[in-house]
Each structure stands twice: as structure tokens, then as C-alpha cells.
Amino acid sequence: MINTIDEASIIAWIDGELASAEADRVARAVAGDPALAELAEAHRDMRARFDAAFATLAMPAAAEVVSLADVRAQRAERARRPRRWIPAALAASLVGGVLLGQLVPRSGGISDNADALALSPALGRALDQQLSGDGATVRVALSFRDRAGRYCRSFTASRLSGVACKDDGLWHLRYGEGAAGARTDYRMAGSEPVAMAAVTAMIAGEPFDRDQEQAARARGWR
Amino acid sequence: MTAFEHELASVMPRLRRFAHGLSRDATDADDLLQATAERMLRARAQWEPGTNFVAWSYRIMRNLWVDTARARQRHTSVLAPEEEGLAIGMSGAAEASVELGYLMRAMERLPDEQREAVALVMIEGLGYAEAAGVLDIPAGTLTSRLVRGRQALRAMLENAS
């Protein structure tokens, strides 16, 4: 039996690449042979291990919003330095610059600083004033502090959902996803798995309860 | 947002993961992702709406990665030995990223042709035919590289534990 089932078949079986007759043949062989069962288990475990470790990457980088001009300047600067000098966080922020430059809607989304992309005044007001769960065009799902101590809130607006943190008196997008056109079903931003993963990556401690939110709001999220 | 921009934004998370599957560390992965995003924006006219955007973007990233292979090998060959070991994550790094760094170093020991096959199928979850299409190789070639890569990884991870 072991001669007719090789490791390639076991791997293809685990990957779901075999037609049903062939898959049945491998399944029967594995069930009847402890050595094959062990091999299949090892490959299944390894695939699951890679899945788990790499899954966190498949969400947009929780990146600072930077301008494309800054991105180019930093890349030019970086080209003149040893590569490993640049910390990963900065590299991640460069990615955010390109991405969020694409994501932020053309209308609004411009701060008074020409070099930075901040959130629109309306979104900023909503983040300043609303409590989680309030029904409005902008919905805030969660409030928390990130590891640097900044106040952050996850939100869903009509064309953008994500997580913003307040820094120097302005809300900055730390993670954003564009939504094509108007959305009819507003889900809570925090309930979306990807946004939730971003929150999980950023949060220090627990999300705020209502009292903590009201206290933070009273302080202007500073 | 144009259809292209929407496609680009939605594929970035997967490309980020693929970049980590190919690269030796997170810094290189973020560089590769950035370069890929820029290449895609410049090459946007080459994408035909309705065709497979994900496959197209994987192909662009993979080709950029291949282009830098020679520089990468030079870099690897001059690494100090302690950098090759299982380093502990820098300040604030979560346990998950220690595991990730560990698996990335295991991947890095594979020959490039096995690494790209493993990254597309085992990490990105592509089917064999789809992965062979991205790499522009016959299905049988993809399968044998994938199997050899997985066997080598299994041996590395078992010896390490």
C-alpha cells in the first residue's frame, strides 16, 4: 500500500487538489496505515502553522498616513543608507502612504496641512462627539488606547471604514478600507473581521466601556 | 475610486502576506510590497478589466522579487552568523511575529523556485493550476517544486523542535 501512495499524493490530498476517486484512495490508505497517517498529520499541521502565522499579515498595515511626496523623499533618503537602518514600522508606513492615497475619497478628506492626509472635518466631528453605537452616517464601534497611549476609534462611514487615532489634536487614519459607493447595510466597524484584526494589533488593554468613552470625550480625546 | 484603485486596495493585504512568504524579513517584505504597489500603479494601463487582477498582481510581485534575487544572494552571503539563527523579536514584537520570523527564515532556506511555489500554494492558498499560471510553468513542474519544498520545510521544522 505504501508504495502506491507517495508524499506528493498526500500533500495534494491535503491541498484539496485530488479528484474524488483519487482522494478516496488516499484517504483509505491513510486510514489504514499509521505511517501514512503520521505523514499526513505532519503536513496538515505544517500548513495550519503557516496559515496561522501568516494570516495576520493579510490585513492592511496599520500604518500612519503619509503623503506621497514624503514617501518619495524617504525612499530617496533610504537608497543612500544601509538598508537595515530603516525600521520595519517606517517601511510599513510607506506602504500606507500609497494605499491610503488611493483609498481616501476625492471629496473631503483634506486636512489644513497640505502635506498630510487627515480625515474630513465631518468625520473628525463624528469621532470627537459620537459614542459607540450611536446611529448616524458615521458609526463608531469601538474606542481604545493604542500602545503609544493615543485614543483610537474604529468607525464605518459611507465610503471609508477603518481605525483613526487622535494625535496633535487631529484624527489620523491608522487603518482604512475603501467602500465602493454608498453602502446600504452599515455594519459596525468593529465587527468586521479585518478592522477587528487591526484593532487587535493596535490596542493596549481593553476597549472602553461607556463611562470611559464619555470621560475621554469630555477631555477631547487628549 | 476607480475600479483599478478598488482592486489594488483590496489585493494589498494578500500581497503583503505573499511578500512575507518570499522575503527574508519584514523590512524586505515591506520594500517589496511598496515596489509592487508602485509598479502596479505605473502599469495600470496594462491591466484589462475583467481579467484576473489577483493573478496579475502576484505575477508583478514575483517578477520584482526575481529581479532582486542576485542582490539578495549577495546580501545573504555576507550576513553575520548570528543573524541566521532564531532571533527574538524586537521591542514590542508579539509572539506571533516571533513565530512568523521563524517560519520566514525556514522559507528563506528553500531554493527560490521552491519558495515561490510554497508561498503561492501553502500560504496564499492558490490551486495548483492557478499557481502554475502565475509562475508560467507546467503543472507538473509546480507540483514537484512544491513537494520538494514542503518536504524540506517539514524536515527543518521537525529537526528544530
pLDDT digits (tens, 9 = 90+) for A142-154: 888 887 888 998 8
For residue A194, the model assigns a pLDDT of: 52
Chain B residues in contact with A66 by the CB 8 A cut-off are none
CB-based burial label for B4 (10 Å; 0-12, 13-18, 19+): middle
pLDDT higher for B50 or A6?
A6
Residue B125: give the domain boundaries.
3-160
| Nearest partner of A201 among A158, A159, A160, A165, judged by Cα | A165
Task: Quote the ipTM score.
Answer: 0.85
Q: What is the DSSP letter of A16?
A: T
- Closest-CA residue in chain B for A194? B13
For residue A81, the model assigns a pLDDT of: 47
Q: Are A60 and B13 a contacting pair at CB < 8 A? A: yes
| Cβ A174 vs Cβ A165: under 8 Å | yes
* Lowest pLDDT segment from A131-140, A160-169, A187-196: A187-196
Residues A200 and A194: their CA atoms lie apart, in Å, by 10
Summarize pLDDT for B70-97 with one digit per residue, the tens.
666 655 554 434 444 433 433 334 455 7
Pick from B9, B121, B146: which is nearest to A99 by CB? B9
In A148-173, which positions are buried (b, 16+ CB within 10 angstroms) versus exposed (e)? eebbbbbbbbebbbbbbbbbeeebbb
Percent of chain A, pLDDT > 70? 59
Most confident of the following: A76-80, A212-216, B136-140: B136-140
Q: A50 pLDDT exceeds 80?
A: yes
Amino acid (one-letter) located at A217: R
| Cβ A64 vs Cβ A100: under 8 Å | no
For residue A92, the model assigns a pLDDT of: 43
For residue A17, the model assigns a pLDDT of: 96
For residue B97, the model assigns a pLDDT of: 75
For residue A133, the model assigns a pLDDT of: 74
Provide the CATH number for the domain around residue B15: 1.20.140.160
Summarize pLDDT for B4-24 with one digit per residue, the tens.
877 888 888 899 999 999 998
Pick from A15, A53, A194: which is nearest to B100 by CB? A53
Structurally, chain B folds into a number of domains equal to 1
Chain A residues in contact with B44 by the CB 8 A cut-off are none
Average pLDDT, chain A: 69
Chain B residues in contact with A91 by the CB 8 A cut-off are 26-27, 30-31, 34
Chain B residues in contact with A86 by the CB 8 A cut-off are 27
Summarize pLDDT for B47-74 with one digit per residue, the tens.
888 889 999 999 999 999 998 876 666 5
Pick from B12, B144, B150: which is nearest to A60 by CB? B12
Query: 3-class SS at A174?
Result: strand
Q: A7 pLDDT exceeds 50?
A: yes
Residues B157 and B155: their CA atoms lie apart, in Å, by 6
CA–CA distance from B83 to each of A64, A92, B3, B74, B89 (Å)?
29, 22, 43, 15, 12
For residue A121, the model assigns a pLDDT of: 74
For residue A112, the model assigns a pLDDT of: 32
For residue A173, the model assigns a pLDDT of: 77
Q: What confidence tier does B132 reach under pLDDT thresholds 50, 70, 90?
A: very high
| Cβ A158 vs Cβ A179: under 8 Å | yes
